[in-house]
């Protein structure tokens, strides 16, 4: 059974990314016909993911997948998280934000951090599901790597030999990112759910 969703995003590449992560015989995602402006004023990743789903479902009347993700930094508890994409204010590039983070972390010993992704699969007001993925690591001391985006060039994942950033580990990231982990949880759930329905 194929569960088909539109993606609550104006980024067509994001739908392609999800279809690479999913077994498309179980879960399939397509770009929304147009972008819907949603006010993301929730206090958690889950609230914001649900708000995106509601906005797109209201417009297109079909199942929606929304993703809300960010970087949580232990030493700066109120500055990133759900505000990761707005860290430092308007007009900054991804690189500007990552370099601002390095500057703010200068001299701080506690460099623990994690990436968090929450996926919301929305079928209607009585049926929606959340799945979460995390990657734990630390904030490095320099900007390194050509393959990532956002904060990848300053984030060093735990559990690997060496001190490579996510932006230097494209193959590892493909299978182990916070988005990949959340996607695996979702796929397992829907596979089992569909087997029970069959």
Domains of the chain, each with CATH number or no CATH: 3-197 (3.90.950.10)
Task: Please give the pLDDT value at position 195.
Answer: 82
Residues in Cβ contact with 161 at an 8 Å cutoff, skipping those fewer than 6 apart: none
Annotation marks residue 68 as catalytic: yes
Provide the token pair at 46.
Answer: 């889950």
If we measure between CA atoms, which residue out of 40, 37, 24 comes closest to residue 120? 40
Task: Please give the pLDDT value at position 149.
Answer: 85
136/49 Cα distance (integer angstroms): 21
Of 23, 41, 68, 194, the active-site residue reads 68
Task: Please give the pLDDT value at position 196.
Answer: 79
Residuewise pLDDT in 10s, the chain (198 residues): 578 999 999 777 889 889 999 998 999 999 999 999 999 999 999 999 999 999 999 999 999 999 999 999 999 999 999 999 999 999 999 999 999 999 999 999 999 999 999 999 999 999 999 999 999 999 999 999 998 889 999 999 999 988 899 999 999 999 999 999 999 999 999 999 888 776
Task: Tell me the C-alpha to C-alpha distance, in Å, between residue 101 and each of 21, 116, 151.
Answer: 29, 17, 9
The pTM assigned to this predicted structure is 0.93
Helix axes 178-197, 12-21, angle to 10 degrees: 60
Q: Cα–Cα–Cα angle for 77, 80, 86, nearest 5°?
A: 150
Task: Please give the pLDDT value at position 1.
Answer: 58
Task: Please give the pLDDT value at position 10.
Answer: 79
């Amino acid at each position: 059974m194929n569960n088909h969703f539109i993606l609550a995003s104006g980024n067509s590449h994001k739908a392609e990314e999800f279809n690479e992560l999913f077994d498309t015989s179980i879960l399939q995602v397509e770009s929304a016909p147009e972008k819907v402006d949603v006010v993301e004023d929730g206090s958690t990743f889950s609230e914001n993911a649900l708000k995106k789903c509601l906005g797109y479902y209201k417009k297109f009347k079909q199942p929606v997948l929304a993703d809300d993700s960010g970087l949580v930094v232990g030493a700066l508890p109120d500055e990133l998280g759900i505000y990761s994409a707005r860290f430092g204010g308007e007009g900054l590039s991804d690189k500007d934000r990552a370099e601002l983070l390095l500057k703010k972390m200068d001299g701080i010993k506690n460099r623990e951090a994690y990436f968090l992704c929450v996926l919301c699969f929305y079928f209607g007001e009585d049926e929606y599901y959340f799945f979460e993925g995390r990657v734990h690591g630390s904030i490095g001391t320099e900007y390194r790597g050509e393959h990532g985006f956002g904060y990848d060039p300053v984030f060093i994942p735990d559990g690997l030999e060496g001190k490579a950033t996510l932006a230097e580990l494209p193959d590892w990231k493909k299978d182990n990112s916070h988005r990949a982990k959340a996607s695996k949880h979702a796929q397992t759930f829907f596979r089992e759910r569909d087997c029970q329905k069959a």
